[in-house]
Amino acid sequence: MTLETVLFWIFGGLAVVAAIATITRKNPVISALFLILNFGGLAGLYLLLNAQFIAVVQIIVYAGAIMVLFLFVIMLLRPDDEKSFFAENKQIKWTGIAIGTFLFAQLAYVIFVGVPKQSIVRDAQRSVEIGTIESIGRALFTQFLVPFEAIAFVLLAATIGALVLAKKKFD
Amino acid sequence: MIENYIPVFVVLGFAILFALATVFSSEIFGPKRPTKEKLSTYESGVKPIGSANERVSIKYYLVAMLFIIFDLEVIFVYPWAVTFTKLFSEFGMVIFTSMMVFLVVFEIGYLYAYKKGAFKWD
């Protein structure tokens, strides 16, 4: 086995085990901590796919900032209220299973049918140069300059939205 | 390519090993003589009241949300900073102004948060 294969099994196994632990824990805070471990495993997989920048962003943004928000949101809710909600609404489990199956079918379609094999192979051969921060910066500030500026407005809307929702009662 | 990251994996491995070793060595070697008093919930000497799972204030959510947004801003500055000299010699001022426009739009959100009192903790 090559180094890549060994690391793939380590990170892939870590991601799968952490994902299973995330959905089976009773305590939502422990679930969130296992989700961080899952994001770590995914970051390793991104690195193996030569997507260095995505791997770093996965750690900084997802495992860092977004999981802090998740934990705060979990602490904003009262776990006992959640338990009674799920006890009263039993059919919500089937909705969850239906959405999960739909998303799985969608992913399976995209991976096995939707994308032509040649384009995967072609992109894989160029992946080392595509994944570097230099090539991402070059694409972002030349070819995709307008979408880049649009991101600023999307995030401005997110800032104002969060403030309007959370600060309403304090004024 | 992945060979370049071996030092990172070595550091990662040592970090995990160190964490596991410290936790489990104290588990193995530490003396354990539990009494009822020792196992009771410790709350700075005061008798504990209520549940530990109380709801926290919405202020924490605001802080986390603003942190994510400005974290994302920094993520976009990284590739700009790395490619700046090269792209500046090729395309000139447009590379500089595009980032300044991006940052100014963010600062509008920052000013709004400041005026709305999102950074006040009371």
**What pLDDT, in 10s, does the model give residues A44-62?**
999 888 888 889 899 999 9
Average pLDDT in the A148-162 region?
A: 91
CA atoms within 13 A on the CB side of A98: 5
In this predicted structure, the answer to whether residue A170 has a pLDDT above a threshold of 60 is no
Contact B78, A133 (CB under 8 A): yes
Q: Do residues A17 and A38 both lie within one domain? A: yes
Count the domains in chain B.
1
B114: closest chain A residue by CA: A163
Q: Which domain holds residue A25?
A: 1-81
In a domain, B121, yes or no: no
Orientation angle between helical segments A28-48 and A3-24, nearest 10 degrees: 160
Q: Quick one: pLDDT at residue B11?
A: 93
CA dist list (Å): A60 to A52, A98, B66: 13, 32, 15
In a domain, B85, yes or no: yes
In a domain, B34, yes or no: yes
Residues of A in contact with B58 (CB under 8 A): 76, 166
Contact A45, A11 (CB under 8 A): yes
In this predicted structure, the answer to whether residue A171 has a pLDDT above a threshold of 70 is no
User: Do residue A133 and residue B78 have CB atoms under 8 angstroms apart?
Assistant: yes
In this predicted structure, the answer to whether residue A103 has a pLDDT above a threshold of 90 is yes
Residue A11: name the closest of A58, A60, A67, A64 by CA.
Answer: A58
Q: Do residues A149 and A117 both lie within one domain? A: no
Task: Give CA B26 to chain center in angstroms.
Answer: 28
Residues of B in contact with A11 (CB under 8 A): none
Average pLDDT in the B102-115 region?
A: 90
Q: Which domain holds residue B70?
A: 2-47+56-116
Q: Quick one: pLDDT at residue B49?
A: 76
pTM of the model: 0.80
Rounded Cα–Cα distance for residues B32 and B50 (Å)? 28
| Token duo for residue A80 | 């006992």
Burial (Cβ within 10 Å: 0-12, 13-18, ≥19) of residue B104:
exposed
The pLDDT-based confidence of A93 (bands split at 50, 70, 90) is: confident
Q: Do residues A35 and A66 both lie within one domain? A: yes
Residues of B in contact with A133 (CB under 8 A): 78-79, 82-83
Kindly report the number of other CB atoms within 10 A of residue A71's CB atom: 19
Least confident of A15-24, A139-148, B1-10, B14-23: B1-10
Kindly report the number of other CB atoms within 10 A of residue A162's CB atom: 21
